[in-house]
Amino acid sequence: MPGTSYDYVVIRIVPRVERSEFINAGVILFARTERFLDARVRLDRDRLRTLFPGVAMEEIEEHLLQIPKICAGGTAAGPIGELPQPDRWHWLVSPRSTMLQTSEVHSGLCENPEKELEHLMKTLVD
């Protein structure tokens, strides 16, 4: 049962940073040996609006949608997208004090990083 080693973080929306309250909005998974870096994001607008009335919904969604682009790399992701994959991973998971944050890094083993990303998304976000 060797499998592929991977690391992942949960993407969190933290509208009131000073209160440390958040909702999960996605997962980023990195499997170095498979050269796999991808993210799934999903913004539950109703839940976010209910918990945090008046939140800058469009701004949050715009920034959230950049994460999968950065994972994919290339010019569409701006200067960060031009970095090598491990550097993009480290940039994505570095600590921030903004409305979009990530959890601490967690590790695991899987047979298929794509399927594991879907599983984590269903388990931790949906």
Helices (H), 23-106: 45-51, 57-72, 78-81, 85-93
pLDDT of 16? 82
Range of the structural domain that residue 64 is part of: 4-124
Number of domains comprising the chain? 1
Q: What is the pLDDT along the chain (126 residues), one digit of tens a residue?
A: 579 999 999 999 998 888 888 999 999 999 999 999 999 999 999 999 998 898 989 999 999 999 999 999 999 999 999 999 999 999 999 988 788 999 999 999 999 999 999 999 999 999
Distances (CA, A) of 87 to 30, 62, 70, 110: 11, 22, 11, 22
pLDDT of 1? 53
pLDDT of 102? 96
What distance lies between CA 6 and its chain's CA centroid? 14
